[in-house]
Amino acid sequence: MSAAPTSVQEPNPAIIFDTLNSYQRSAALKAAIELELFTAIARGNRGAEVIAKAVGASTRGIRILCDYLVLSGFLAKDDDQYSLSTDSAMFLDRNSPAYFGSAALFLLDPRLISPFFNLAHVVRTGTTTLPDKGTVSRDNPIWVDFAKQMAPMIYPSALEVADLVAGEGHVRVLDIAAGHGLFGITIAQRNPKAQITALDWPDVLAVATGNAQKFSVVDRHSTLAGDAFEVEFGSPYDLVLVTNFFHHFDPPTCERLMRKILVALAPGGRCVTLDFVPNDDRVSPPTAAGFAMMMLGTTPAGDVYTFAEYDTMFRNAGFASSELHSLTRAPQAVVVSTKS
């Protein structure tokens, strides 16, 4: 009796073809955001012809774009009628309070994506092809755009961080590389006795101050302009926030800043790091691990760091202990490090 044939997966170039064409995925999403296509569908326009009329585009263009967005998971299709996915309804309908379509302007900014057109050269040299020090060059204007365009996407994680560390009573907070300022601002909202000092470049701080006014905490929100590695922090602080910042630098540079933070903290004070933290295998979870590629392309020496690596760096800087906290509304994690 002959053995049953075994199923063997034959080589197939589909994944190569799809990956080489994957630039179309981000281009399609950006086009849909610019056309306000998701908003039009949310308003009840479901067929290609009526969607096209609502957004001022060609029927052919809208049909092909919508079908592609179905393939990408942003839309569903029933016969010839389109509807929003749960994520698209929450985050890409301009009338949703959680809308963050503006993030496309920053994440697809030519200044960020240009190094990836010659990534082989970046890999050979191990550093960005952007001028000066890439995105960490002094007073880089790209961070004004980040502060303006990424704030809606960041807000949910800021709320989670505030729930974790805001506490009660008088708390003095230093928000390093504050950007939009939302991490300090949400702490001030949670804790009416919290005093926030936001540190960043002057033009970026103007955005943070505007947000502090918008969220009615400007009376407890002050600014400190300059380079985090050079400016005097003042002291003592109960909390120092370092959000989406350490990944721009190599470990020795991170440790240097950590030592400076330690000096600025009161006894028992905490440094709160929000960042992309991969597992020890450095390939999971995908979003956190994959962010290393962004740092390879845009910075001289940036990277993502595992919790074990952060724990080592903080201990080397003099911190007593560190704890890792996962977030439910963001791909980053929080490392809370305590001064003895």
Tell me whether residue 77 is exposed, middle or buried, using C-beta atoms within 10 angstroms of its C-beta: 0 to 12, 13 to 18, 19 or more: middle
Is residue 212 in a domain?
yes
pLDDT of residue 8: 82
pLDDT digits (tens, 9 = 90+) for 273-327: 999 999 999 999 999 999 999 999 999 999 999 999 999 999 999 999 999 999 9
φ, ψ of residue 164 to 5 degrees: the values are -75, -40
- Do 127 and 86 lie in one domain? The reply is no
pLDDT of residue 239: 98
- Do 188 and 247 lie in one domain? The reply is yes
pLDDT of residue 247: 98
CATH number at residue 49: 1.10.10.10
pLDDT of residue 1: 53
Alpha-carbon dihedral sign for residues 52, 56, 62, 68: negative
Structural domain of residue 256, as residue ranges?
A: 120-338
- Do 144 and 80 lie in one domain? The reply is no
pLDDT of residue 4: 63
Is residue 153 in a domain?
yes
Per the CB < 8 A criterion, the answer to whether 273 and 334 are in contact is yes
Per the CB < 8 A criterion, the answer to whether 207 and 181 are in contact is yes
Is residue 115 in a domain?
no
Name residues of the chain where pLDDT drops below 50: none
Per the CB < 8 A criterion, the answer to whether 246 and 273 are in contact is yes
**Closest listed residue to residue 198, CA positions, set 172, 220, 223:** 223
Angle CA 136–277–212, to nearest 5 = 60
pTM of the predicted model as reported, rounded to 2 decimal places: 0.93
Tally of domains in the chain: 2
φ, ψ of residue 199 to 5 degrees: the values are -115, 125
